[in-house]
């Protein structure tokens, strides 16, 4: 498999090269040159396969020229050593619980897979690499924990000051070792802009070997497609085509789902569910994309005003808005709607939703028109990561898993910067000199 840039000005590269580069030199995002379509027999076998076996089979066409089968299998079984259960909530509504990994968020899947791919590639070439990543919440903790202690890899995490929950912040600012947290005086969009500026800086890239762990990196994006296949397999009915609602911020999760559909996964359609940062639902409605500064909400991981992965979605559909609309509908929800949903779902079912998962649920019940069609929404974070909001609406504090509670007693370690790229550049170059 070769990978090309969404901007079309970079020669095709291998999976290894795409992972190490992170972003294409022409500032585009890497996408597969072609998406493989699995035969019908594959889908008949899916219900009998394990989570790891499904992930291996889906990944293999994308990595086979760069990862030997035994290496790929080792990466998958080590990275994805936690379950992703499909839970029946009510009627035809199902929850895909993506928060059973080490940091209790869906991003553990992509971050752990990517960390192991990068460790393998950097060990082979014998070079040190610096991972730059912007986070609005869970990406930081997932990446930090995925790369913690990995030899030959340093991680620099940029996050917006005062705009992530305390638990999220503690998860990636208290680790030390090869993890550096940079607190930016700005928004997530500022953090993402600064990271992109670093990749576009020829001088910096000539001095420091940098890559990305955001979903702009194909190794973060690809493994997120695995769990769509696993969710469908858990429905246990090869004849059904579910509607899948995806709480969306930077739109990596939705992009991965659409890739799965292009690979042949039987899906009736997707719902792109957002908070009031609704530039993509507006794009789906009007055909005009108008990015703008993000607005802070209780669903902070979705506070994105210019989502990177829309470029991949548009490329996948040849920039044809009518074709995108065939597979995706959009909707957005105000904060009070999110809070009401957390409360009502708990009162009616006893199930606790975090704010992001509540948006996924709202998207499903809003857009699921056929009562006989199964619906799945993605639960992207454990409710304990947003215990203040959840407790306010349910009257109960979520149980805090031990691996989350222990980080609360550790000391925060950060470097503070403004929202100017020059500060980060100077820091990285100075760090390089001191090594």
The pLDDT, as a whole number, for residue 348 is 96
Q: Which fold has domain 84-103+220-399?
A: Rossmann fold (3.40.50)
> Taking the domains of the chain in order of start, what are their residue ranges?
84-103+220-399
Q: Which of 289, 334, 239 is nearest to 44 (CA)?
A: 239
* Residues 143 and 104 sit within 8 Å (Cβ to Cβ): no
Residue 410 DSSP class: S
Torsion of CA 260, 110, 114, 257, to 10 degrees: 10
User: What token pair was written down for 361?
Assistant: 């649920």
Whether the Cβ atoms of residue 385 and residue 105 lie closer than 8 Å to each other: yes
Low-confidence ranges of the chain (pLDDT < 50): none
Query: Alpha-carbon distance 184 to 414, whole Å?
Result: 10
Name the CA radius of gyration of the chain, rounded: 20
What stretch of H or E contains 6? none
CB 295 within 8 A of CB 277: yes
Q: What is the pLDDT of residues 307-363, one digit of tens each?
A: 989 999 999 999 999 999 999 999 999 999 999 999 999 999 999 999 999 999 999
Query: From CA 176, how far away is CA 183, in angstroms rounded?
Result: 15
Assign 271 to helix, strand or coil. strand
- What are the helix and strand counts (H, E) for the chain? 20, 13
- Residues labelled catalytic: 107
3-state secondary structure of 187: coil
Distance CA 234, CA 51 (A): 10
Question: Is residue 39 classed exposed, middle or buried when 0-12, 13-18 and 19+ CB atoms within 10 A define those classes?
Answer: exposed
């Amino acid at each position: 498999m070769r990978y090309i840039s969404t901007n079309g000005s970079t020669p095709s590269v291998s999976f290894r090269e795409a992972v190490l580069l992170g972003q294409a030199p022409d500032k585009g995002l890497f996408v597969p040159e072609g998406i493989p379509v699995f035969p019908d027999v594959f889908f008949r076998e899916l219900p009998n396969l394990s989570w790891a076996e499904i992930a291996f089979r889906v990944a293999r066409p994308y990595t086979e020229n760069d990862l030997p089968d035994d290496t790929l299998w080792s990466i998958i079984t080590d990275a994805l050593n936690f379950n992703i259960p499909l839970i029946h909530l009510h009627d035809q509504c199902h929850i895909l619980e993506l928060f059973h990994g080490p940091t209790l968020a869906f991003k553990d899947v992509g971050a752990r897979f990517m960390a192991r791919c990068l460790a393998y590639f950097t060990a082979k070439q014998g070079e040190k690499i610096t991972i730059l990543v912007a986070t609005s919440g869970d990406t930081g903790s997932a990446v930090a924990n995925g790369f913690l202690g990995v030899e030959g890899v340093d991680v620099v995490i940029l996050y917006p000051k005062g705009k992530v929950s305390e638990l999220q912040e503690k998860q990636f600012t208290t680790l030390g070792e090869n993890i550096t947290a940079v607190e930016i005086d700005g928004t997530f969009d500022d953090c993402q802009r600064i990271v992109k500026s670093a990749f576009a800086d020829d001088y910096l890239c000539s001095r420091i070997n940098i890559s990305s762990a955001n979903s702009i990196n194909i190794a973060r994006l690809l493994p997120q497609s695995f769990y769509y296949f696993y969710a469908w397999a858990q429905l246990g009915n090869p004849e059904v085509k579910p509607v899948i609602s995806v709480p969306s911020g930077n739109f990596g999760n939705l992009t991965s789902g659409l890739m799965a559909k292009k690979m042949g996964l039987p899906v009736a359609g997707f719902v792109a569910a957002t908070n009031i940062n609704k530039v993509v639902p507006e794009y789906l409605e009007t055909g005009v994309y108008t990015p703008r500064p993000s607005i802070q909400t209780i669903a902070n991981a979705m506070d994105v005003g210019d989502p990177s992965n829309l470029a991949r979605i548009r490329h996948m559909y040849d920039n044809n808005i009518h074709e995108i609309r065939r597979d995706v509908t959009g909707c957005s929800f105000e904060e009070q709607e999110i809070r009401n949903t957390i409360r009502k779902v708990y009162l009616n079912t006893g199930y606790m939703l975090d704010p992001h998962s509540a948006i996924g649920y709202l998207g499903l019940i809003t857009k699921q028109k056929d009562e006989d069609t199964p619906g799945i929404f993605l639960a992207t974070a454990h409710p304990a990561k947003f215990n203040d909001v959840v407790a306010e609406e349910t009257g109960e504090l979520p149980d805090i898993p031990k691996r989350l509670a222990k980080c609360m007693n550790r000391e925060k370690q950060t470097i503070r910067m403004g929202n100017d790229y020059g500060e980060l550049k100077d820091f990285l170059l100075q760090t390089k000199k001191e090594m």
